[in-house]
Amino acid sequence: MEIVATQAAKALGGALRIQYLRSQDCDAGHSEFISHGPAPAALDLRNATAALRLARRFNPDVVVFSLWKSVFAFLLLRFFLPGPRIVLFVHSAQSAHMIDHLVTAVMVRLSHSVWTDSTKSAQGRVGQSALRHRARVISFVRRRPSKFSSQCSRPSFLYWGRLHEIKRIDRAIELFSRIAARHKRARFKIVGPDAGNRAALENQVTRLGLSDRIEFVGPMAIEAIEALAEEASFYVQLSSQEGAAMSVIEAMQFGLVPVVTPVGAIADYCVNGSNSILFDDLDNTADRIEEVLSEQSRYRKLRESAIAQWSDDPLYHDDLLIAAAEENNRRHARPDGRNEAATIDPYRKLQ
């Protein structure tokens, strides 16, 4: 959401006011459009009351909540702030745990609309119920790349995202170890913030004797990641669960061949042997990577298909703003179908 708050508000040159609130322990960067709550924990009631005060001050047309941990703020605004459209944004096709499942189900029922990162997330979290008509998929294409990976394949691998156990980076390291055994120049850079898994992954790398081949880079801006992608050929993400998987989309845009598990929406846009390599087991997947490394024409075909996959999709912040404008138009709609206020054109050209 911070992407929208910074990129979209600037693009519209003051025509639209966006304010984004998150807890203190989340690094959302620094922007006039971003506010941090008074408490570090997302579930702290002080953050929920801060959200209510912020909403009363700005009198928003649409309020978007992301993830189940925003439930207290969601309930306060839903019942004590009449007027704005309340939207829940769901980012995963599966629940993380039972609390997530139950709380999200309540939020889905109480929200005016549900935005999701993919059809898979809508099916998994909203389902086929009478509430399905409220769901809208938001494009997860964050930006248009200015640089692309090399057209020559090399045993150079990237991952970026949270270092969390559901990302199964441990499995990606095991896969890479099989490639490293065949290629002395094989390298794997792991980019992203620690989400509780880094120490275990570093121990695994040491145990496998790959400390000189695998580098933990830490968090990086997408522009810096784009520069790393120029020197790589493959993106590896063997997650146990996903929604749209924005990093896989970005990797394909950069021209990296994704080596991925077909979970969440990844199964909808990654086609094995056409624009990606789908993981089945360690040895078979390593053999298929080896085949692509040894045949340049095959690598280039995969690379070009990966880039083409997202060339016509709208940008994330553009699509989200279109959805917000549609919500605002519904907010002012009268029973006869006319609007009580001037209709916002959701398809206004965004710079």
Residue 333, pLDDT > 70, answer yes
**For residues 88 and 107, is the Cβ–Cβ distance under 8 A?**
yes
Where residue 174 falls among pLDDT bands split at 50, 70, 90?
Answer: very high
CATH 3.40.50.2000 in the chain: give the residue spans. 2-139+315-331, 156-308
Does the domain formed by 2-139+315-331 have CATH 3.20.20.140? Answer: no
Q: Which residues lie below 8 Å from residue 45, measured CB to CB, with a gap of 6+? A: 72
Between 335 and 71, residue with greater pLDDT: 71
Between 202 and 325, residue with greater pLDDT: 202
Q: How many residues does the chain have?
A: 351
Dist CA 346 CA 118 (whole Å):
20
Dist CA 194 CA 197 (whole Å):
6
CATH level 2 (architecture), domain 156-308: 3-Layer(aba) Sandwich (3.40)
Name the pTM for this structure. Answer: 0.75
Residue 283 host element (H or E): helix 282-294
Q: List Cβ<8 Å contacts ≥24 apart for 34-42.
A: 34/2, 34/5, 34/6, 42/67, 42/69, 42/70
214-218/113-116 β-pairing: unpaired
- Per-residue pLDDT, 219: 95
Give the CA angle between residues 38, 140, 98 to the nearest 5°: 60
Where residue 28 falls among pLDDT bands split at 50, 70, 90?
Answer: very low
Q: Minimal CA–CA distance to 190: which of 150, 232, 148, 151?
A: 232
- Per-residue pLDDT, 312: 86
The arithmetic mean of pLDDT across residues 162-183, rounded, is: 97
Between 5 and 310, residue with greater pLDDT: 310
- Per-residue pLDDT, 40: 66
Q: How do residues 210-263 score in pLDDT, each as one tens digit?
A: 999 999 999 999 889 999 999 999 999 999 999 889 999 999 999 999 999 999
For residues 189-215, one letter each, b for 16 or more C-beta atoms within 10 angstroms of the residue's C-beta and e for the rest, the string is bbbbeeeebbeebbebbeebebeebbe
**Alpha carbon distances (Å) from 169 to 165, 182, 200, 222, 254:** 7, 20, 10, 20, 21
Per the prediction, the chain carries an average pLDDT of 84
Dist CA 243 CA 33 (whole Å):
26
Between 320 and 232, residue with greater pLDDT: 232
